[in-house]
Amino acid sequence: MASSTEPTAPNEAQLLDSARFQTNNTMSPKPQPKQQLSKAMEHMRFAVTVDPIPHTPTSISRPPPPPQEQAQTQFTPDPTIPTENDAYGVPASIAPVRAPPSRSHDPANNQKRSDPFSFGSRYLEEGDNIFEFNAWDHVTVDSTYQAFSQQQYAAQRLDPVSDFDRKRYMERPEKWWNQFYKNNKSNFFKNRKWLSQEFPVLADLGHPDAPAAVVLEVGAGAGNSAFPILQNSRNPRLKIHACDFSSKAVDLIRANPLYDETCIRADVWDVASPPSAANTGLPPGLAEASVDVVLMIFIFSALAPTQWHQALCNIWRVLKPGGQVLFRDYGRGDLAQVRFKKGRYLEENFYVRGDGTRVYFFEQDELRGIWEGATSAVDGERATAGESAVDVTGGRMLVNRQRRLKMYRCWLQAVFRKPGGESRVATSRLGGGGGDGKGEEGDVEEGKGHMEGEEKGDGDEKGKRKGESEERRQSESNGKSQADAQEQDNGKQEVIQS
């Protein structure tokens, strides 16, 4: 009788030999290629990718276990669950984890947000993780940030703009704005779709049965406020006048495919120009008391304090009795102010950006006093702006969750009404007060929008800050006259001599 021999387990040497000549991929699976992600999603790799086949390069490939062992450990998939992988390599059999209401980004399951297009409703409360969302509304600045801000202001005062540069920036501000619009064109800005939320009267003016109305936008830039208002309007009696003292900006508006002079007109107008024999001080095509709504969005801060009074006098003259001014601008303590470096300080709260444009940061009481004083000088009647009409809409904290950064933004928003009843447009109320000022909607956009510098000339937010020598080279290479160059040379000599 033939004797039967029991199978013996292979020793370590046999395993090494079999591994050396192994060619069957089922015995030695190759590592899966790394899932390719865009740069914007690379930091999310740990959350959106799963390696379905763990692989250890240094491990020794062993033969498969006997059939009976396989039967004990083999997993029978549910036929109702797809076997293919989902997006980014996540197996479809893995059920997504439902976020609790405090963390969910779904408007139907979110305690911190009622609607993705409704600003000002997400409050930071005790116990909340600030990095759960990209933005929080009505946040009180912490003491650490306040102390840092004061240190920054003190350092800025110690190293102001030179006398030579102060003269350049203050004498011909329109030159810097022309250069700005020449460099950035219209695609640099995002449309301010949030305007009708912050100032509901703009939405009311667009109703088909709304009365005839004239809207004047001061500092219209490339038309990123005027054209969205026009596109959303169904009122054939609505007329928009878009004015800017930069001829390049006006050219951009007129070149827009939506430009139609039957409903929108663009002109060059310096809001701070005093009346003269050749200049009425009013926008082209408009007479006194002919405008229902004046829109001033991040434009007043571009004026020097010495220009404020004349600018408001001109606006008050063109406004109808009962007309209103919709105002939004930078507030003191905004991150853009705190981030200014040396050589940018013109005077208290007044700075020059790296591209040569200027910006002022207002305080609430200061803004109210400016309007009441200037408007009283025109006709003896002060602008009506109650406590509810001038709000600090800042206190908004943006969060960079990847870099673990907190960024505080502060804006002032107001509705100023001229006494009287000639205008048929109802006085606007203020919206939620959480609009980001960049025309961004949605949770992801909120988190990045407000360092992009969408507002005119926000050079700090867009990386437009240039060195002093680079600014001068640019201005000289873009049409600077020989007289300007000679003036610079003379100024340099004076500085050197002093």
Q: Tens of pLDDT along 373-422?
A: 766 656 656 555 543 355 555 568 888 877 777 788 888 989 999 988 87
- pLDDT at residue 14 above 50? yes
**Are the C-beta atoms of residues 293 and 213 closer than 8 Å to each other?**
yes
| Structural domains of the chain sorted by starting position, each given as residue range(s) with its CATH number in brackets | 143-471 (3.40.50.150)
Model confidence, pTM: 0.65
SS3 265: strand
pLDDT band at 31 (very low <50, low <70, confident <90, very high): low
Q: Mean pLDDT lowest for which of 127-131, 241-245, 351-355?
A: 127-131
pLDDT band at 467 (very low <50, low <70, confident <90, very high): very low
The listed range with the strongest mean pLDDT (96-110, 131-145, 154-168) is 154-168
pLDDT at 108 (0 to 100): 53
> Percent of the chain at pLDDT above 70?
57
Shortest CA distance to 137 belongs to which of 118, 153, 156? 118
Q: What is the average per-residue pLDDT within 12-33?
A: 53
Q: What is the average per-residue pLDDT within 138-159?
A: 89
**Rounded distance, CA 348 to CA 339, Å?**
15
- pLDDT at residue 277 above 80? no
Q: Tens of pLDDT along 54-90?
A: 444 444 445 555 555 444 445 455 554 444 443 333 3
Q: φ, ψ for residue 205 (rounded to 5)?
A: -65, -20
More confident residue, 396 or 173: 173
Q: What is the average per-residue pLDDT within 251-279?
A: 92
More confident residue, 438 or 496: 438
- pLDDT at residue 101 above 90? no
**Are the C-beta atoms of residues 446 and 436 closer than 8 Å to each other?**
yes
Determine how many CB atoms are found less than 10 A away from the CB of residue 40.
Answer: 8
More confident residue, 62 or 303: 303
- pLDDT at residue 448 above 50? no
What's the chain's average pLDDT? 72
> Percent of the chain at pLDDT above 90?
37
E strand or H helix that includes residue 407: strand 405-409
